[in-house]
Amino acid sequence: MIIKNGRGYELVKEMPNTSEDFFNRSEITIVSKKMEKTFYVLYVRYFEDKFREQNPLLFEGSDLSIKDVMALICIIQNEALLERKRLYLNTEEEFLMFLQGIDLRAAIELIPEMNRNQTMKWSEVVQKLKTPIHKE
């Protein structure tokens, strides 16, 4: 599998009576077996804002945020999600669960390179982002 690109963005209200402006969307495009597929993750922006407040050092010196890599993180944590088109994270616990075991700083720093190259190998990205579990 090849990762082509990823990005995240804040949704904007299309109509005055909707709540879209409270959500972030993250997407990742992957090429596998000559087929291109885009996977989307939608979640409440508050989850990211709260995480960012609790972990300010992770984001120091970077204008990127979790929304830029959340879709990538979700499929790294559960490749079966690639069989779906989208995922909605509706609890903060679920949001945080996907972040466990991921080198978030490496993920955030990887996005510009990934979008520039558009040919990053899946196995290399997983190896860079998965943090090893230490057993004693």
User: Residue 132: its pLDDT value, please?
Assistant: 60
Close Cβ partners of 5 (under 8 Å, ≥ 6 residues apart): 28, 29, 114, 115, 118
pTM over 0.85: yes
User: Residue 83: its pLDDT value, please?
Assistant: 92
Show the low-confidence residues of the chain (pLDDT under 70).
Answer: 17-18, 132-136
Q: What is the pLDDT of residues 5-34, one digit of tens each?
A: 899 999 887 777 667 779 999 999 999 888
